[in-house]
Amino acid sequence: MTDKPKKLRCDACPVMCYIAEGRTGACDRYGNQDGQIIRCDPLTILDRRLKAGDQLRPFLNADWTGQITDPLTVTAVGAGTTYPDYKPAPFVVSQQIEGVDTVTVVTEAIFSYCGVKVKIDTDRHLGHEAATVRAQGEAVGHVMTSEYGSQMLSLGGVDHLTGGSKSEGRVTCDTLLALCNAEAVELTIDGGATVIVQAGQPPIVDGQAEHRMRVGCGSATIGMFAAQWQGLVDDVVIVDDHITGVVSEHQAGKVLGWPDTGIRIKGRRSTPGRYFQVAQPGLGWGGTDIEDPLTILGSWRPEKGARPGLTLLMISTTGEQFAYYVLDDSLTPQPAPLPEALRDSVDLITENCEPALCTVLFTGGAGGSLRSGVTQNPVKLTRSIHAGETRLTCGGAETYIWPGGGITLMVDVTKLPPGAFGTVPTPALVAPLEFILSHETYRALGGHEAAIRSLGDILEHGGEYGADSRAIGRP
């Protein structure tokens, strides 16, 4: 009777899976190969000589000559983890970068305190501020404040990952992973729209793909293009959910000598030519719920300049919707064909609208014990990052470090190599981090000097979690 192959216990995350020979753990990232726990994905090395999309794999044990050149940068993608954090990071790399002796410390960090900030370029109403955002029916975040031409979502965070039901945590983790790896995710907003979000791609709102983000609010549009309309039309209204503009009343029109037209706008007048709340938010003209722009007009005032034959152009902030009218004898706007003389001005608004895209920023708190994989005195690492002595990258991409306590970082996920993010079933996200600093600074921080290895040694022998590596170009 033969003994069954012994299962190995993986300590790469708090789940502590027992893994049989030839199998992987619950995360699908670590496996048992020949009686050793290995990282299933290769260590990723950025090579500035390669263009994005180029890939040389395997990098090791093939045609490598042993020569090290400056363009190689070790990332944490495929490196393995510091967990359970009592030990040095998987790779502490000694390398000369532009003539400076540097140390690069790489680790795949486990993040329970993390999420994504999503910028969606659209003028359409997605949902009211603070409305719950759902994936697969589970709450995964909320709507944030609108920004100029964009809607903002905040997704994830420790409360959704660990503070709700098991299903909520699992779905939140899966949603964050897909978004961070630039995959498409369908989200629904309570009381609002269904939107498909994918980093670097146009959003799809209620089945309709967005093409352009608005050139500006209604007031700003008038400021930019009032001169284009002078002498060609008697009045122009820019319909916008936030600030609807009227050129004859606006300061830009007054500076140009625009005469009064007697127009009346329904809504709350702010300053001359600027109106709030002309309609409810929606998917219609300028992010409002209207399909007929004439519904925002009141009765015209002859004592203020209204007259039969007066012409009116109404247009949205993206130029997608526009209509031309002429007042009849009863001062009622009647639709008319757009004069060719106005076509260029409509096209100019469209030309000035940038492509609508989705932006996904991974946001995480890189504090906790992972810092002990870099230095024996973790707070010194935090202070060094804020002082600019230590550079923190994520998968080789530049990060923004929030001021204040701790190490709170943000990074554009499209700048990382494909598939750079992972998960563990706790649930938590896994993100690659690289700490880059001079050897002198590393020594002063109390770094793990005994763990430092040359880049050549790493390329030749690999690390604790395996030896495979790959070289790719920067995204």
Of 419, 409, 435, 371, nearest to 44 (Cα)? 419
Let me know the angle formed at the C-alpha of 364 by 359 and 366, rounded to the nearest 5 degrees.
145
The predicted model gives 300-307 an average pLDDT of: 96
Asked if the bond preceding 42 is cis, omega within 30° of 0, the reply is no
Reading the block at residue 242, the tokens are: 């936030």
- The model's pTM is 0.88
* Confidence at residue 402, expressed as pLDDT on a 0 to 100 scale: 97
Q: What is the per-residue pLDDT across 198-220, written as a single tens digit (0 to 9) for each?
A: 999 999 999 999 999 988 899 99
* Confidence at residue 139, expressed as pLDDT on a 0 to 100 scale: 98
456 has a pLDDT exceeding 90: no
* Confidence at residue 109, expressed as pLDDT on a 0 to 100 scale: 93
pLDDT band at 463 (very low <50, low <70, confident <90, very high): confident
* Confidence at residue 57, expressed as pLDDT on a 0 to 100 scale: 45
Of 164, 165, 187, nearest to 175 (Cα)? 187
Mean pLDDT of the chain: 90
Percent of the residues in the chain that have a pLDDT greater than 70, as a whole number: 93
Of 27, 19, 77, nearest to 423 (Cα)? 27
In the block, which residue shows the tokens 């726990």? 37
Helices within 86-244 (DSSP H only): 158-162, 166-180, 218-229
Where is average pLDDT lowest: 61-70, 137-146, 167-176, 422-431?
61-70
* 411 vs 52, more confident: 411
pLDDT band at 71 (very low <50, low <70, confident <90, very high): low
Radius of gyration of the chain (CA): 29
SS3 assignment, position 119: strand
Percent of the residues in the chain that have a pLDDT greater than 90, as a whole number: 72
Q: What is the per-residue pLDDT across 90-148, written as a single tens digit (0 to 9) for each?
A: 999 998 877 889 999 999 999 999 999 999 999 888 999 999 999 999 999 999 998 88
Q: Sketch the domain layout of the chain as residue ranges.
A: 218-351
1 has a pLDDT exceeding 70: no
Where is average pLDDT lowest: 156-165, 315-324, 457-466?
457-466
* 473 vs 317, more confident: 317
